[in-house]
Chain A
């Protein structure tokens, strides 16, 4: 028998190939369809399970609870508002009484304050007494106020005078407020 005789006709081979292609096409179509259906269902279900409604319901419940406390809430906001404004005012206001306190503290006992004027920018102090040593100490201490407490600067001794009738000295000091 001749082995070279091909019993399978070329037509059958072609048909087999066609069948294979068809099987592959069907399988591919099924896989794609199944995949798409699975994904669509999955995404649909996941979308359904997102808890938006329950969150909104909880929000509504909490809002209802808060609305019962509305008066308290308003008071709380007002407390916050007052506290903020008071903090600002306290931070902004000038400490003139403190400056006056510091100046009084450096005036020696044997000197009298004839005049003290303090405003937002300037301090003016006129002190009288019989002792020049005390006046000298006053001037030194006022200079120390500038250096240590840093509340005044540009200190100027405007006048040092003697009233011969009363035998008293008078010194006038001026400074800028920092």
Chain B
């Protein structure tokens, strides 16, 4: 068997144009990986800069408080480190989800969105929803390794495999080949195997190198294995289809036409149909109704501002102001704070419905993905690169939880207009995003691998059946 594969490898690599084609694929993979790495590094730098700026700003205020306490500084009208409304309302945290394992695979806007949220006491981070609620948007995106692996690698593989036997039949060399005493099925398998390994090694090798480079030599082995497994299954589908078509096709043009038709149906038409069906079955969150709900709540709270403030202090009498603030302070403390908290409480169910709709749609897409290996690999890549809606929902829940803790920490001081102490600065809550539960995360990945396995096994069964009866004539 090894000898046969070695001979076929020699025949393949010496064929005209093959080396150039493989170099082009390598270059495209390299370009895709470069774009992914650039985007990843830019994101990381942006997050690091924003976080360090936040921490520095808060540290400056704390230092100012030390000076005030020591009497080395006079309290100014603005920027007081002692007055909660001045120290807290504009201060917050730049929050980002934990790094995805294979962010380098994707440079898409959807990847870690929302990847950086500036969250403070009053921030409505739920306003900043990304606009990628249409499933068809998941299929396009910038030129990255995900694009190359999903769309270009199968085309390269088909270009290299469409005529592995059909051309021999067309040229009349199939009979000479078959007369040598090795079954045509074995020859076809060896030829496809060599081509498959070449494409897999290039795409997988570049992905591995990119992950090693961007993760400082320590990429997540399970994530890498899962992605390489997905890539192997998707390329395997096309190899098996090529085997089945070559077992029957009388000439290379017919084989090319058949395979191209299957590719168009599977990689272009099926995702489009799936997108339409999924949008109908699990519609994306209705952003318009979200905005309208937001405006309605705002307008209602504005109309009833006195009532809202009264209700707040009635519910939290311990937070009643202990002194008379200026007009500015009074507005933020006694109006903005109760209204913001009331708004978030009323908007929470709307936000939860929007999150649930995103998750439902993502689940529906995954269920439909066996119909399109390209879509399944795209979803797998997106998930491993950090773009899964479930991850975004989880991150927003973490942000909500952090904001609740931040508010709980500063709200009594803010609403009561009591001065801040060093302890308020030092004990402020830190943001600790929780990684997704391994079961849910790997359940999704396993589901997508299973989704890729279904077309692979079907194509393999077809290829097996076709090759058993494949003859040279």
**A in complex with B:** no
- List B residues at the A interface (Cβ < 8 Å): none
